[in-house]
Structure 1
Amino acid sequence: MRREIVVGFDGSPQSRTAVEWAARECRTRRTELTVCHVWDGPHAEREAAITGQVRRLAGRTLIEGVELAERLLPGRSVRSIMARGNPGPELASLSRAAEMLVVGCRGLGGVAGLLLGSVSAHVATHALCPVLAVRPADPASPPSPGNIVVGVDGSACSAAALRFALGHARLHRLPVHVIHARKDTWPQPGWEVERWLAEAVASLSGDHSGVAVTAGAVSQLPLPALLARSRQARLLVVGSRGLGRVRARVLGSVSQELLHRASCPVAVVKQHD
C-alpha cells in the first residue's frame, strides 16, 4: 500500500512553508510526497483561450511547488497532481490514501489561488487523515522550546489526537504536554482530574516509550487556554470535534478557531470507526 503525504501548493509563502513541513515529515516517516495544485479557471461559457492561459499559469505554479519539494528531498521522486475545481473537496478526496494532509493557512485568493482560509477548515472536517495546517514563522517571535501540546476532553476525537501527538513526538523526539481545559466546575476534586489525565496518557503511551509526557488540568475555557500555550509550542494537536458532537458534520468551534488563530502549526485529528 502506498504511504504518502499530500500537500496543497498555490505559490503563496504559506504554501511554501507547507511544502517544507511536508518534506520534513516525509524524511522522518519515510513516506512519499504528493504536491497538489487546485485551480478554478473560467467557466464553460467563457472563451477557451482564457481557460488555456489560466491552466498554463496553474501548471507553472505546480512545477514551482514540485521543484521546491525535490530540492528538499534530493534523490526522491515527487508526485504531482493538478486538479480543477473547489480546493477543499479536491484535497479532501486525496486524503483517502494519505497518511497526512498538509495545507498552509491564509492561502492566496482569486481564480488561481488556493483559498486556504476556508480550505483548511473544510479539509480538517472532511479529510480521512490528520490535517496539518501551517503558516510561515514570525521572525519577531521567540524560538519555540519544541514541545507538542495536545488538548483533550475525554472524547473519542481527543483520544485520537493524543495518539497522534504521542506518535509524532516519538518520531521527532519531542516532549508532549497534555492539557484539559474546562471552565465549569468538575464534580471531582482537582487531584482526581489529574489522575484521569494520567490514566488516559498511560493507556495510549504503551507503544511510545521514551516520550516525555506531562499532563495538567486548568480551570479555563479551552480556546484561550490552547491559544496561550500555542505561543510556546512546536505543534498544537486537537480532535476535530469534542464531546456532544458525535454525529457532527462541521468542525468543532474550538478546532476551527485554532486553525486561524494559533501561533504554531495545528494538527486536527479525526476519530474513525
Structure 2
Amino acid sequence: MPDPSPSPVVVGVTGTAAGLAAVRLAAREAVSRDRELRIVHVFTWSHARARGAATQIVDEAVATAQRSTPGVRVTGQLVDGVPDRVLLRLGRTAEMLVLGDDDLATTPWLPSGSVLVQTVARAWCPVLVARGPRPQAGPILAAVDGSECSLLGLRTAAGEGARRNVPVLVAHVVERPGGEDAGREVLARAVAAVPELTDFTTKLLTGAAGPTLVRASSRARVTVLGPRGAHHAGLLGSVARTVLRRAASPTLFAHGSPVPGQRPAPDREREPSRVLIP
C-alpha cells in the first residue's frame, strides 16, 4: 500500500490582491518544504454565474503560483461551506495554512468574526499571514513572554530558522523600567525549554508589547508568536491582535503540541552569541 501524501500547504483565496500575495508566499513555502500547494476558495453555491466567478479566482491563483515559483506542485479547489470552518477542517491535516491580511492595518478594529481571526486563533496547524510583495532578509523574530503558547512559538521559530538556515532573534518586551532582571529570566527559561534552538540571539525590548513587536517586525524575515499570551485567555491575546493587524513581516502563529517541560538553565553550548539590551 503506498504511503499517504505528505500534508499540503493550504492557502485560502478570495480574489483579492492580498490573497494573491498569500499564494506567492505559500508557493515558496510549499517548495521549500517539499509539499504540495493546495489553493482553496470557499463560498456558498447560489447560481452558475457565481460558480464561474469562483472558478476564475482559483484559476488565477493557480497561475500566480506557477508563475511565481516554477516547479511548485499545485492544485486548486472550490469548496462549498463557511470559510473559517472549512479552513479549520483542512488545517487538521495541513502542514500550514496561509492567508492574506486583506489590509487589516487600515481597519479601525480587528473583527473577531473574520475568517482571518478565527483561523489564526483556532487552527490545528501553524497559520502564516502574508505581508507585502515578498519577505525581506533578516532573522526569524520569536516573541516570548513565559507562557506555554509563546514557548510553542519559539519551538516553531527554531524549526523555521533551521530550515531556512537563518538565526532566530528571541525577544521579550519589558513594559516598565525595573523589569530587566525578570525579563532576562523569561528569556533564559524560554531558550532552556527549546533544546532544538541553536543559532539564536536574545534581546530585551522596552515599551508597550504590541507596538514594540510591530516595530521590531520591520527588520525580521518572519515574526513568530503564539495566538495567546501569559495573561490572555480569549480568542486572541491583545499582543497577538496588534501584531496580526500591523506587523511589517509575514507573521506565523504557532499551533500544535505543547512544548516539553522546561530545563532549569540553558546549556553552556547553547548560550546566545549576544544578549542585546537597547
TM value normalised by structure 2:
0.80
In structure 1, what is the equivalent of residue 27 of structure 2? Answer: 23
Do structure 1's residue 197 and structure 2's residue 184 form an aligned pair? Answer: no
Aligned residue in 1 for 2:271: none
* Residues 54-133 of structure 1: pairs in structure 2 closer than 5 A: 54-106=50-102, 118-133=114-129
User: Size of the alignment, in residue pairs?
Assistant: 248
Q: Identity of aligned pairs, percent?
A: 35
- Name which of 241, 244, 267 aligns with 2:252: 267
* SS of 2:229 mapped into structure 1: coil
Say yes or no: does 1:168 pair with 2:160: yes
- Residue 7 of structure 1 deviates from its aligned partner by 0.5
**Residue among 258, 267, 271 paired with 2:243:** 258
Of residues 148, 154, 169 in structure 2, which corresponds to 1:156? 148
Matched position secondary structure for 1:98: coil
In 1, the alpha carbon distance for the partners of 2:185 and 2:126 equals 28
Give 1:24's aligned amino acid. Answer: R
When the two chains are superposed, the root-mean-square deviation of aligned CA atoms in Å is 2.7
* Range with bigger deviation, 149-158 or 219-228: 219-228
Counterpart in the other structure of 1:223? 210
Q: How does 1:168-187 map to 2 (within 5 A)?
A: 168-184=160-176
Aligned to 1:238: 225
**TM-score, normalisation: structure 1:** 0.81
Q: 1:12 aligns with which of 13, 16, 19?
A: 16
5+ residue gaps, structure 1, are: 43-50, 109-114
Contact 1:105 1:117 in 2 (8 A): no
**Counterpart secondary structure, 2:114:** helix
- Please tell me the residue identity of whatever aligns with 1:34: R
Secondary structure of the equivalent of 1:267?
strand
Q: Give the Å deviation of 1:200.
A: 2.0
Structure 2 gap segments, 5+ residues each: 105-110, 259-278
Greater Cα offset, 86-95 or 194-203 = 194-203
What is the rounded CA distance, in whole Å, between the counterparts of 1:32 and 1:77 in structure 2?
5
Task: Measure, in 1, the Cα distance between the counterparts of 2:112 and 2:24.
Answer: 17
Judging changes above 3 Å, is the alpha-carbon distance between structure 1 residues 69 and 200 closer, same or farther for their aligned structure 2 residues?
A: same
Q: Supply the AA of the counterpart residue of 2:90.
A: L
Distance of 2:70 and 2:96 partners within structure 1: 21
Aligned letter for 1:198? A
Tell me the CA shift for residue 93 of structure 1: 1.6
Give per-residue Cα distances to partners, 1:93-134, cap 9 Å, x unaligned: 2100011100001179xxxxxx99922211001111111111
The answer to whether the 8 Å contact 1:107/1:116 transfers is no
